[in-house]
Amino acid sequence: MKERVVILGGGAAGPKIMAKLLRTKNYDCQIDMFTEENMISYSACGMPFYIEGLIENYRRLIVRTPQQFEEKGANIHLGKKCIKIIPDEKKVMLEDVNTKEISYADYDKLAVTTGARPFVPDIKNINLKNVFTLRKLEDAVNIKDTMLQSKKAVIIGGGYIGIELLEAFVVNDLHVDLIERSSHILSIFDDDMSDLIQQHIQNKNPEQVNIITDDEVTALVGEEKVEKVVTRNGKIIDTDMVIISAGVIPNTEIAKEAGIELGVHNTIKVNHRMQTSVKDIYAAGDCIENYHLVSRDYVWIPLGSSANKEGRCAAINIAGGYDTFPGILGSSVTRYIGFTMSLTGLTEKAARTHGFDVITTVTTKQDKAGYMPESENITIKLVADRRTQKILGAQAVGAGDADKRINTIASAIMADETVDDFLHLDMTYAPPYSTAIDPLLSAAIVMNNKLKEND
Amino acid sequence: MKERVVILGGGAAGPKIMAKLLRTKNYDCQIDMFTEENMISYSACGMPFYIEGLIENYRRLIVRTPQQFEEKGANIHLGKKCIKIIPDEKKVMLEDVNTKEISYADYDKLAVTTGARPFVPDIKNINLKNVFTLRKLEDAVNIKDTMLQSKKAVIIGGGYIGIELLEAFVVNDLHVDLIERSSHILSIFDDDMSDLIQQHIQNKNPEQVNIITDDEVTALVGEEKVEKVVTRNGKIIDTDMVIISAGVIPNTEIAKEAGIELGVHNTIKVNHRMQTSVKDIYAAGDCIENYHLVSRDYVWIPLGSSANKEGRCAAINIAGGYDTFPGILGSSVTRYIGFTMSLTGLTEKAARTHGFDVITTVTTKQDKAGYMPESENITIKLVADRRTQKILGAQAVGAGDADKRINTIASAIMADETVDDFLHLDMTYAPPYSTAIDPLLSAAIVMNNKLKEND
């Protein structure tokens, strides 16, 4: 008899599980996916670039349509929100988002891929028009439409999404005030690297961009639409629209209610096979806890790249195979108008928090032979442990090819290499691509010299 | 008393040794560098791009001038060719290239960094005008001057330098016949990848480029200047200039005569500390044999990137320190007008030669999110060993960001990773930089599936 697989959520991990199960030979299953949204399997990461205007039609962000999955034999149920998981009866309770009608679905295996949703701070008059969060495809469409009629925007929160939307708005000639509660934008980076990023952003478009740190929006003002924002420090800023990109929270309330064990930040705890604490219930994607390979601690770093890997792992195990997902390094990248910011592993501050004997270096080099016209600077910060001499993490920012270096060193960190192992790496060299001693190897040599001085 | 260090050759490795020694504290030495050329420390790898016109002045290729080294206390002797090493007396015999005057220099430590020179096949009338090899800076200047007055060129040999000069000439509106003796250009790649490269080159400028394989030039024809080339297969091709880029041979005759042990292709054998078989004589750069970390065999892959690493290692040991250089992967990259070709580790053919139980995959994917305007294809060939499941090598070609992937997997090969280890690597993802599952990880997943089918 066919196994019944129910998948809750249609973001990145859910469709990945479905696609992998549909391709798995020798596993005969009936797949039902339930989502409260009216679309599945679209690139949330692409939405800022759609808003910017780099992608004409939002439909290009759709990886696979419900029809494409249904043609392969899966059942996609749009507008159906799971409101309860009942593990004892191996069923889920569903509510139609329009009719509020209740229904049930039985499962043999359940995959919880309910993702995360924007965190909305406590701000007065948050329900005014032209105030947005960016999570669903329709949010992207609405933000773009409003942007095209706006001259001024306020972005609340300077994380990756905030910075990507800043690029989108600036390119579309808006004036933007970006308000960050902490002392630095992109606080996922160390402060010194975040300073470099902020300098670049400010210098690039000094007339158009105003970054405000150590402050937060307490109230919105307006009749119907938002017209002003008011901050704790007393700033009053005119605006045509407001974006709230102040972080996300995991959609795990139903999992918790069902008795599934939670981890950090209320994410779902899973083992290396993506199994939750409850039999036959798997989880993957933005709603789960991650194991960090360097700190060997549990973290929550929800990223599309991990969601896909976790989905693949969950699918193999759901289908009766055996696969493990070892964990993450937290590798990530974004850009702001020709300037790349990328990191992997632990920052200096994270490494200190975890008790490493931290040593760091910061080096700035040209990313290609200096005489090549396309040559640009990148600044690389390395973080290592003084005692084991192992590489703990790296951050790279600049107009140069930064993410290439981060992926190369991520591979070394994954392999638990020391700085001395790494600096002998045979990297490719030709003048349009790098320098004879790649900036990454230069950084490692500087770190090695510093480690030896400390011997 | 100061130690006397003599360095023979001023290409990449020699200046690297000199620069590192000059920076070494607690090592008091007198450094004398001898070269038959009239310049040292210039980027030979940059010469094709100077010829292309990307670099205005050839002097920009000079990394450090003799004066810069002399200001730091080294003695640079231009136009002085070493014609004999006398290990028993710890001295070298030198000839002035202009006056032919003989002189001697004593050493405590000797560094042989004599590099390599172009291999010139046996071709009739090779001494006609407008026939060039590219090795020295003056060659680059002469080739550029002649190119600017030419309409047609013949390139003999389709290796990296041949392809880079092809780009230079095509961009400068010349018609080029490229004649390759073997069945494929860039035979450092596997034939299937070389075919993709050749297709791209032919399709890019079909009117301007004619690639001829399985043929070789036997004679040149002309009064004073070359006017035609004649091939073994009877082709007669009109031309204004000829480039011979048919490989290189190491400058090791004086080392051999001095009793220094040679390795493959008459290169100098060194240990991991860059010591030759003769006491106090070190060698580095294009003239030495390389240890290949994957095949665990000796090869000759002369590259600027290795020369710098070897130079650094030699300098540390010359100065009484301890450093080892583990070996190479043969990582390399070049481009042809927006198309990147890059590799690391063993090709399929090399892996078979070395007795591995070879399994390969070839996958083509977009290098960035498909909806991003800058997205381009790359084709990745992976080579693995069926029994150990280890990654042996990778080749990547395409308009997309290929060398980024090669460096990332080079790092994994260096760490002796299996395909299954590697496919879990946490690579950065954002739509302008990659896909949620990077093409490299896709390739590894396909390889892993293939390995499992074979289990």
Q: What CATH number did the domain enclosing B227 receive?
A: 3.50.50.60
Half-sphere exposure of B351 (CA within 13 A, CB side): 25
Q: Is the domain of B86 the same as that of B144?
A: no
* Residue B299 near chain A (CB below 8 Å): no
Min CA distance, B43 vs chain A (Å)? 9
**Location of structure tokens 């011997």:** A455
Q: Is the domain of A109 the same as that of A73?
A: yes
Q: Is the domain of B257 the same as that of B228?
A: no
What percent of chain B lies above the pLDDT cut of 90? 98
Q: Residue B168 — very low, low, confident or very high, per pLDDT cuts 50/70/90?
A: very high
User: What is this structure's pTM?
Assistant: 0.96
- Positive or negative torsion for Cα B402, B408, B413, B417: negative
Q: Which of A404, A412, A436 sits opposite B308 (nearest CB)?
A: A436
Pairing of strands A332-336, A339-345: antiparallel
Model pLDDT for residues A166-224, shown as the tens digit of each residue: 999 999 999 999 999 999 999 999 999 999 999 999 999 999 999 999 999 999 999 99
Kindly state whether residue B124 falls inside one of the protein's structural domains. no
pLDDT of B175 strictly over 80: yes
Model pLDDT for residues A368-411, shown as the tens digit of each residue: 999 999 999 999 999 999 999 999 999 999 999 999 999 999 99
| A–B interface: beta-carbon pairs under 8 A | 213
Kindly state whether residue A323 falls inside one of the protein's structural domains. no
pLDDT value for A116: 97
* Residue B336 near chain A (CB below 8 Å): no
* Residue A25 near chain B (CB below 8 Å): no
Kindly state whether residue A381 falls inside one of the protein's structural domains. yes
Q: Residue B453 — very low, low, confident or very high, per pLDDT cuts 50/70/90?
A: confident
Q: Is the domain of B299 the same as that of B391?
A: no
Q: Is the domain of B140 the same as that of B235?
A: yes
The catalytic residues of A are 45
pLDDT of B292 strictly over 70: yes
Helices (H) and strands (E) in chain B, counts: 12, 25
pLDDT value for B77: 98
pLDDT value for A233: 97
pLDDT of B454 strictly over 80: no
Q: Which of A325, A344, A431 sits opposite B49 (nearest CB)?
A: A431
Model pLDDT for residues A297-350, shown as the tens digit of each residue: 999 999 999 999 999 999 999 999 999 999 999 999 999 999 999 999 999 999
Contact between A166 and A176 under an 8 Å Cβ cutoff? The reply is yes
pLDDT value for A25: 87
Kindly state whether residue B345 falls inside one of the protein's structural domains. yes
- B49–A372 CB contact, under 8 Å: yes
Model pLDDT for residues A102-134, shown as the tens digit of each residue: 999 999 999 999 999 999 999 999 999 999 999
pLDDT of B287 strictly over 70: yes
Q: Is the domain of B230 the same as that of B167?
A: yes
Q: Is the domain of B290 the same as that of B387?
A: no
Q: Is the domain of A219 the same as that of A269?
A: no
Chain B positions touching A293 (Cβ under 8 A) are 426
Model pLDDT for residues A55-105, shown as the tens digit of each residue: 999 999 999 999 999 999 999 999 999 999 999 999 999 999 999 999 999
* Residue A316 near chain B (CB below 8 Å): no
Q: How many domains does chain B have?
A: 3
Within the 235-294 window of chain A, which residues sit less than 8 Å (CB to CB) from chain B?
293
Model pLDDT for residues A39-66, shown as the tens digit of each residue: 999 999 999 999 999 999 999 999 999 9
Q: Is the domain of B99 the same as that of B143?
A: no
Q: Which helix (H) or strand (E) holds B291?
A: strand B290-292
Contact between A191 and A184 under an 8 Å Cβ cutoff? The reply is yes
For residue B154, give its domain range.
Answer: 131-246
Model pLDDT for residues B374-418, shown as the tens digit of each residue: 999 999 999 999 999 999 999 999 999 999 999 999 999 999 999
Q: Residue A455 — very low, low, confident or very high, per pLDDT cuts 50/70/90?
A: low
pLDDT value for A453: 83
pLDDT value for A454: 62
Q: Is the domain of B307 the same as that of B352?
A: no
CA distance A324 to B204: 45
Q: Is the domain of B310 the same as that of B231?
A: no
Among B323, B428, B446, which would you mutate to test the A interface (most chain A Cβ atoms within 10 Å of its Cβ)?
A: B428
Model pLDDT for residues A228-265, shown as the tens digit of each residue: 999 999 999 999 999 999 999 999 999 999 999 999 99
pLDDT of B455 strictly over 70: no
pLDDT of B298 strictly over 70: yes
Mean pLDDT for chain B? 97
Chain A positions touching B432 (Cβ under 8 A) are 49, 335
The vertex-A167 CA angle with A58 and B432, nearest 5°, equals 60
